[in-house]
Amino acid sequence: MTQLFKFNLWMILFAGLLLFNIITGLWLNQLLTETPESFQVEEERPLESSNTVTLKPEIINYFIQQQNTTTTQQILSGDQLKIIQNSELLGQPVKTNILTTPVVIGHNKLRLDIDKVKVAKLPLSKKQTLNVIKQFGDLPDNVSLDVKNECFYYEMPPIEFQAASLELTHINQAGWHFNITIKE
C-alpha cells in the first residue's frame, strides 16, 4: 500500500512539473511569435522657412551624448544612431544594443528604422527581440515601438537656445537641417 502511495505522489509531482513546463513553453512561444498591430503614423512634409541652419553630424552627436545617462548611451556615427542600454534582470546584467537609421517623417518627428538589435546575447530573430523589448522594455514617453515595421517613432521637442528654437526638418549627407524660430 505504501509503495502504491509513493508511486502516486511521484506521479502527481511529475505531472505538475510537466504541466508547468508546458504552460511556460506555450507562454514563451506566444510572447516571441505574437505580432502586435502596427499603428499608422502620418508622414507629413516638414515646414520649410528661409531661416534654416544645417548642423554637421559631429555637432548633433555632441548634443545627443549630453542626453546619456549611466544606463543608456546614444552614439551617432555617420547616418546611424546606436543605442546601448544596460539594465538588470534578477540580479544579472542585461545589455541591449540597437542600431538605427534616423529618418525625418514630419515636423520634429523621427522614425528610427531598426537595422540590428541584440538583447543579452539571446539567439532570437529581430521581431522576437522587438517583442521582448515591447513587453518588458521601459521606453520614454515620447518614444513608441512599432514591431511590425521594425522601427521606433520619436517625437522630438524643439531645441531651445535663449530666444530661439530649432525644429528639425530633414536629414541628408550635408547634416541635420533645422528651421530657426525666434521668440519675441
How much is the pLDDT for 44?
A: 55
Instruction: Write the pLDDT tens digit of every residue in 140-167.
Output: 778 888 888 888 888 888 778 788 888 8
First-residue to last-residue Cα distance in the chain: 93
User: 6 falls in which pLDDT band (50, 70, 90)?
Assistant: low
How much is the pLDDT for 110?
A: 87
Over 80: is that where the pLDDT of 179 sits? yes
- Grid coordinates representing 24 are 511556460
Q: CB–CB of 123/106 below 8 Å?
A: no
- Whether the pTM exceeds 0.75: the reply is no
Instruction: Write the pLDDT tens digit of every residue in 28-52.
Output: 777 767 666 666 655 555 555 567 7
What interhelical angle do 2-33 and 126-136 show, nearest 10? Answer: 100
Instruction: Write the pLDDT tens digit of every residue in 95-137.
Output: 888 899 988 888 788 888 989 988 887 788 888 888 888 877 7
